[in-house]
Amino acid sequence: MTRRLYVGTRKGLFVVEPKKSGWEIAQTALLGDPISMLLPEGNGTVTVAQAHGHFGAKLKRSRDGGKSFEDRPAPAYPEKPDGVEDIDPIHNTPIPWDLKSVWSLETGGADRPGELWCGTIPGGLFHSADDGESWQLVESLWNHEGRKLWMGGGADYPGIHSIMVDPRDSKTVRIGVSCGGIWATYDRGETWAVEGKGLRAEYAPSEQAYEPNGQDAHRSVQCRESPDTVWIQHHNGIFMSRDSGRTCSEITDVDPSVFGFAVVVHPEDPDSAWFVPGVKDEFRYPVDGRLVVTRTQNGGRSFEKLTRGLPQQHAYDLVYRHGMDIDAAGDTIAFGSTTGNLFVSDDQGEHWQAVSHTLPPIYCVRFG
Amino acid sequence: MPSIEFTPNLHRHVDCPPEALDAGTVGELLEAYFDRWPAVRGFVLDDQGAVRKHVKVIVDGRNIKDRAGLSDALGPASRIHVFQALSGG
């Protein structure tokens, strides 16, 4: 099977493959239009979410590694009933019942072929039982009183950026929300409750700092083989859970910074995780202009800075929350930045190969 | 009969040929058009049926007033143009 790395950018899709001399761009597609999210499913199948500035968010799917695409139905919000108030509590502006952006896409689990989950801005979760032929808003979550406390962070409206289908039981699904914390269902979406106890919002009034709903979890990932472990890159810093996200502990002592957006966890070793730190919190560029990846291999007790192959002066790259991925074997890691730098490591981050320094701003990278 | 045509920028994404259709309002005309060309709906209207924020609908040279309800009246020979607002980068 061809190993591929799909890279979604502000100006289209790039398909990167390993060649004799290293990873190279093998294919470009859909050039000119932004790609907010993508979902590879192996054997050259990839679904991409386009975010057209004028014409809305759309889905397309390729069966041949990005050479050709077919249009696919995009999720749509139901008609908003008269008299329903839905107001962002921080911005005091109405939440539009309208698909603004597809922000997360996942399959429904190995035992549920053809099922898909889709997280969106402004905060709706959608489910498809027919491989994306149709989508249904998960109304149990959308109508939950707690959902109405979610708020926009960097985006104007709240968004679901992470969907973690429990590998032990696909009825259990957890989502990460900016800004809404970590939510879980144990019955495939019929009922929902906020989890993520222990997440801390330093920027909130002290009596609300530990309120789980509304936390700005930037990204959350679950270890495939040890799903009790969930890593969270939060606006405040790095958190880790040993009970699948129900309770979280904060990790504060990480050089050069605990601030960032992206995180990946090794698929087999729950104690190994990687981050790309930046200066907190509104500055968001590498500390001292040195682009580094931080890695722990002992569950967060210590971290090391990985720099070989990464620019160590005048680097101002920001890596977005979907801008890093680790492959299924756990050896190859890739990340891409707002500056259009794309790096791949085949040895868990010890050495980095620059695939390109001149891509458009990178939104998401995924192996598959 | 009123007629409708779309910005060349939209033809890049979806088939949307010009049509002449019997209708008394912008909403009636768009519904008749989407009956023939259903894929065009989501490019012009949002999920609540309002004109997308960065799309302009012009009737006989004037922007429509009712972008949510699409109630602007059409004459028997009205010409409707669907453009994108200038933005992007």
Q: What is the ipTM of this complex?
A: 0.90
Q: What is the mean pLDDT of residues A57-68?
A: 97
Q: What is the mean pLDDT of residues A4-16?
A: 98
pLDDT exceeds cutoff 60 at B87? no
CA distance A86 to A68: 40
Percent of chain B surpassing pLDDT 70: 96
Average pLDDT over chain B, rounded to an integer: 94
Residue A77: is it exposed, middle or buried by C-beta count within 10 angstroms (0-12/13-18/19+)?
Answer: buried
Residues on chain B touching A56 (C-beta within 8 angstroms): 42-43, 46, 52
Please report the number of interchain residue pairs, chain A to chain B, with beta-carbon separation below 8 angstroms. Answer: 47
Q: What is the mean pLDDT of residues A229-242?
A: 97
Would residue B89 count as lying in a domain?
A: no
Q: Which of B39, B42, B49 sits opposite A56 (nearest CB)?
A: B42
Residue A24 parent element (H or E): strand A22-29
CA distance A360 to A176: 26
CATH number of the domain within which B20 lies? 3.10.20.30
Amino acid at A40: P
Q: What is the mean pLDDT of residues A157-173?
A: 97
pLDDT exceeds cutoff 80 at A1? no
DSSP state for residue A74 in the 8-state scheme = P
What is the domain count for chain B? 1
Tens of pLDDT, residue by residue over A245-284, are: 999 999 999 999 999 999 999 999 999 999 999 998 788 9
Torsion of CA A220, A295, A337, A24, to 10 degrees: -110
Enclosing domain of residue B72: 3-84
pLDDT exceeds cutoff 80 at A333? yes
CA distance A205 to A211: 10
Would residue B33 count as lying in a domain?
A: yes
Average pLDDT over chain A, rounded to an integer: 96
Please tell me the predicted confidence (pLDDT) of residue A90.
83
Tens of pLDDT, residue by residue over A182-229, are: 999 999 999 999 999 999 998 888 888 999 999 999 999 999 999 999
Please tell me the predicted confidence (pLDDT) of residue B88.
52
pLDDT exceeds cutoff 60 at B23? yes
Would residue B80 count as lying in a domain?
A: yes
Please tell me the predicted confidence (pLDDT) of residue A154.
79
Please tell me the predicted confidence (pLDDT) of residue A207.
87
- The nearest alpha carbon in chain B to A81 belongs to B48
Residue carrying the six token digits 């597809």: A102
pTM of the shown model: 0.96
Is residue A279 within 8 Å of A232, Cβ to Cβ?
no
Residue carrying the six token digits 């759309």: A58
Tens of pLDDT, residue by residue over B37-52, are: 999 999 999 999 999 9
Tens of pLDDT, residue by residue over A11-47, are: 999 999 999 999 999 999 999 999 999 999 999 999 9
Would residue B31 count as lying in a domain?
A: yes
CA distance A334 to A317: 14
Residues on chain B touching A58 (C-beta within 8 angstroms): 13, 42
Would residue B27 count as lying in a domain?
A: yes
Would residue B12 count as lying in a domain?
A: yes
CA distance A117 to A129: 9
